[in-house]
Homo-oligomer: A and B are copies of this chain.
């Protein structure tokens, strides 16, 4: 793998929402007809609440977009629907990313770490990941005077939730 030339500023810095289409050409790396969901779930270690943290990363640029939580049910739906589906701890229900805002995440790969307690989704994020209208939820960064905002709002949040 060739390392890409992201140096200097933050990986997320200056990123613009580069997609406005509602579809993605990205395909997941598994054959849905052959998918063995039980074999996958068996390797995931859920916490006492039945959840596991999931990091979403843009598959081609490497931007870390957000972290959310997944239940067994949300994992199954993610793998079968090819769209990121999380579990909302505040609403206590499945959170099909983009159903309200239109900012879907098409799943490219689904990875599990060495001890099975964290998931890494590589996705094609349409538009923005953050409810504030920024490309990534990680937009505060440590600078000399505390935390500073490093990403611009690229979609008015009112347009996301109207």
Contact = CB atoms under 8 A, between A and B. Distances in A.
Contacts of A7: 59-60
B39 A147 contact: yes
A31 B18 CA distance: 33
B122 A140 contact: no
A77 interface: no
Q: How many copies does the complex hold?
A: 2
Interface in A113-162: 113-116, 118, 120, 122, 130-132, 134, 137-147, 150
A29 interface: yes
A116 B146 CA distance: 13
A118 B143 CA distance: 17
A57 B113 CA distance: 14
A109 B146 CA distance: 13
A72 interface: no
Given A40-B147, A118-B67, A141 B53 contact: no
A40 B145 CA distance: 9
